[in-house]
Amino acid sequence: MESFITFFTAHFEKFLSREMMVFFLSMMPVIELRGGLIAASLLKVNYIQGLLYCLIGNILPIPFVLFFFAKIVELMEKSSFTRPLASWFRKKVDKHKDAIDKVDFWGLVLFVGIPLPGTGAWTGAMVASLLKMNRKKAFLAIGIGVCLAAGIMSLLSYGLLGKLI
């Protein structure tokens, strides 16, 4: 992730401010707020500014994912070219459907909030969309999860843990 952030900043620093680079990085799937806060720290962006740009950047695409991802997967299932990918998405979600249904809201919060590979706001929104969860409830859970991830990543990327000890 750090090498991608370095690549991104090297190629866009002429066109974007450090804060806008952090914002756009936080909007990207996989990178999200987690990578955005690392980038903010590496780019020496003020902590509060970096945190705000990351939070807004990470949350901004989520309503679109919640509304459109299931429809996109349905369209993908109609094409022989994209059907295998759509099938893969469905199988991944269906495999864990019962467990997800049991934990529902707080499970989605933790899924988004604990920074592990393959988790995050984008993935949480995709799962919620495919499971046809209530969008308002899913958006709230994802928002809380993003805030939880922000707290954890702040400790890691800005070294606040070292300052507290």
Is the confidence at residue 67, as pLDDT, over 90? yes
What are the residue ranges spanned by the domains of the chain?
2-59+153-164, 62-149
pLDDT-derived band at 157 (thresholds 50, 70, 90) equals confident
Q: How many CB atoms lie within 10 A of CB 21?
A: 23
Asked if 70 contacts 147 with a C-beta cutoff of 8 angstroms, the reply is no
pLDDT value of position 60: 98
In whole angstroms, what separates CA 139 from the centre of its chain? Answer: 12
pLDDT-derived band at 110 (thresholds 50, 70, 90) equals very high
d(CA 152, CA 118): 16
Q: How many CB atoms lie within 10 A of CB 113?
A: 24
The label of the residue with tokens 């936080």 reads: 26
Top-confidence residue, 100 or 156: 156
- Percent of the chain past pLDDT 90, that is, above it, reads 65
Q: Which of 45-49, 52-56, 109-113 has the highest mean pLDDT?
A: 52-56
Alpha helices in the chain (DSSP H): 2-12, 18-27, 32-42, 47-59, 62-77, 83-95, 97-113, 121-130, 135-157, 160-164
pTM of the model: 0.86
Q: What is the mean pLDDT of residues 80-87?
A: 95
Report the amino acid identity of residue 64.
F
